[in-house]
Structure 1
Amino acid sequence: MSTLRWDDVADLFDAQLVGSLPDGWVEGATTVDDWQRVLDLVLTGPWRWQVDGNALPTAAELAARLDEPGSERPPVRVEVTPEGWVLLRCLSVDSIDFDLNVKAFQGQERLDALCDFLRSVGRAIGRSVWVGAEGSTADRMYGYDVTLDSTVRRAERPPWR
């Protein structure tokens, strides 16, 4: 169950305001071991996943692809709800980045599922996990705060509410 209420964060799921694919990230520099813990979580968790029809790579395999010019780096698609996927992207072993489609996470039930995913990732690696507007990893709108062990809203309320 999420500690966020849909009515309190619905504005953060408006594609006109935050973009259709907001960016998510794990706070701080990460390691290959952090990536492996997240991949293990995806593999053993309740979610379906997909990597262009291939087997889930190990973190070491993802890291090796970063050193190969022109190598394919398909995202790991994690089905958080039947309609909503989180796309994990290995752009560097130093960061765990993802994006999601805000239109697929409308309503309390889907918000709860997303928050459960963020919380699970955060707890697995002992770090906060944030979501910001598309193209911005500087502004934390909401996410899992490891110090509070809770999902929280960080964005200011818009003036029109």
Structure 2
Amino acid sequence: MPDLRWAEVRDLFDPGVMGALPDGYVPGTRQEDWQALLDLVVSRGWPHSYAEDAGPLPLPAAAAVLGAGGLLRVWPEPGFQVNFWPIEAGTIDFDIDLRELRGQRGVDAVCRLFAALGRHLGKPVLLAPEGGGRPVLAFDVAADRVVAVAAGT
């Protein structure tokens, strides 16, 4: 059974409401968590590319990517690109493109990604509207599922 149903969260997948590229993040991380993310990408066999200003590079260790101004693109599923921004160790920042994620298939893809990240890191994975704001979706570690975050919680 899916964590979320399209009919219940369709507004949270609407680029007009959330922005085309809502902000995903994992708070309270360290360099070790970034390395765990990189290891997850490789172990799952997710297609990926890493680039800095000078161009594409092989995927380095977390110590080398943090603060280097690079971009890690990951395709956890065909047609679903996630952009990770290794800016600092304290949070794993990423964005997803809602224009790629329509219907129940898109909701399920986001839930699978959030669950994979949250379970591997043992941390919540959150999604907020583009440009910031209150999270609207979260991987709840204790419940081991993705939930819509109610307003005011």
TM-score exceeds 0.5: yes
**Greater share of strand residues, 1 or 2?**
2
- Whether contact under 8 Å (1:81, 1:110) holds in the other structure is no
Task: State percent identity of aligned pairs.
Answer: 35
Q: CA deviation at 1:46?
A: 4.3
Q: Deviations over 1:126-151 (max 9, x none)?
A: 10001010011x41111211121111
**Structure-2 separation of matches of 1:9 and 1:119:** 17
Match of 2:64 in 1: 61
Moved >3 Å (runs of 4+)? none
Is 1:142 aligned to 2:145, yes or no?
no
**Structure-2 separation of matches of 1:46 and 1:139:** 32
Is 1:110 aligned to 2:113, yes or no?
no
Is 1:121 aligned to 2:117, yes or no?
yes
- Whether contact under 8 Å (1:140, 1:155) holds in the other structure is no
Q: Deviations over 1:38-84 (max 9, x none)?
A: 11001111421111342112111113xx2xxxx5x221111133222
**Structure-1 separation of matches of 2:40 and 2:99:** 25
Q: Deviations over 1:79-127 (max 9, x none)?
A: 1332221111111111100011111011112221221111111111110
> Structure 2: which 5+ runs fail to align?
none
> Structure 1: which 5+ runs fail to align?
157-161
- Whether contact under 8 Å (1:18, 1:134) holds in the other structure is yes
Q: TM-score, normalised by structure 1?
A: 0.85
Match of 2:149 in 1: 154
Any idea what SS the aligned residue of 1:122 has?
A: helix
Match of 2:19 in 1: 19
Aligned equivalent of 1:101, options 97, 100, 115: 97
Q: TM-score, normalised by structure 2?
A: 0.89
**Structure-2 separation of matches of 1:95 and 1:48:** 23
**Structure-2 separation of matches of 1:99 and 1:34:** 18
Match of 2:81 in 1: 85
